[in-house]
Amino acid sequence: MNISVLGASGFVGRNLVKVEQPDFYFQEVSLRNTSWKENVGHSDVVINLIGKAHDHQGTASENDYYFANVELVKEIFNVFIHSEAKLLIHISSIAAVEEFESQTPLQEQADCKPVSIYGKTKREAEKWLLEQVLPADKKVVILRPPMIHGPGDKGNLGLLYKIISKGIPYPLESFDNRRSFLSIDNFNFYITEIIKNKDRIASGIYNICDDDPVSTKSIIKIIKKVTNKNTISLPVPRYLIMGIAKIGDIIPIPINTKRLKKMTDSLLVTNEKIKKTLLITSLPVSAEEGIEKTIKSFENQ
SS3 182: strand
Is residue 150 within 8 Å of residue 184, measured between CB atoms?
Answer: yes
pLDDT of residue 57: 53
pLDDT on residue 60: 73
Q: Do residues 152 and 221 lie in contact, with contact meaning Cβ atoms separated by under 8 Å?
A: no
d(CA 60, CA 166): 31
Q: What length does the chain have? A: 301
Ranges of residues in the chain whose predicted pLDDT is under 50: none
Name all domains of the chain by residue range, CATH numbers in brackets. 2-228+248-299 (3.40.50.720)
Which three-class secondary structure state does DSSP give residue 103? strand
pLDDT of residue 155: 77
Question: What does each C-alpha distance from 64 to 16, 114, 172, 258 come to in angstroms?
Answer: 25, 17, 34, 20
**How far, in whole angstroms, is CA 165 from its chain's centroid?**
25
Please state the separation of Cα 32 from the chain's center in Å. 24
pLDDT the model gives residue 59: 64
With 0-12 / 13-18 / 19 or more C-beta atoms within 10 angstroms meaning exposed / middle / buried, residue 229 is middle
Burial class (CB in 10 A: 0-12, 13-18, 19+), 228: exposed
Whole-model pTM: value is: 0.92
Between CA 206 and CA 277 the distance in angstroms is 10
In sequence order, which residues have a C-beta less than 8 Å from that of residue 92 and are 6 or more positions away? 122, 123, 125, 126, 142, 143, 144, 205
Identify which of 26, 139, 17, 142 has the alpha carbon closest to the alpha carbon of residue 73.
142
Do residues 108 and 90 touch, judged by C-beta distance below 8 A?
no
- Asked if residue 245 lies in contact with residue 259, where contact means CB atoms within 8 angstroms, the answer is yes
* Beta-bridge partners for 106: 269
Q: How far apart are CA 107 and CA 142, in angstroms?
A: 14
pLDDT of residue 53: 82
Measured distance CA(83)–CA(100) in Å, rounded = 38
Question: Closest Cα partner for 158 from 118, 110, 166?
Answer: 166
pLDDT (0 to 100) of residue 146: 96
186 phi-psi bin (left φ>0, alpha ψ -120 to 50, beta other)? alpha
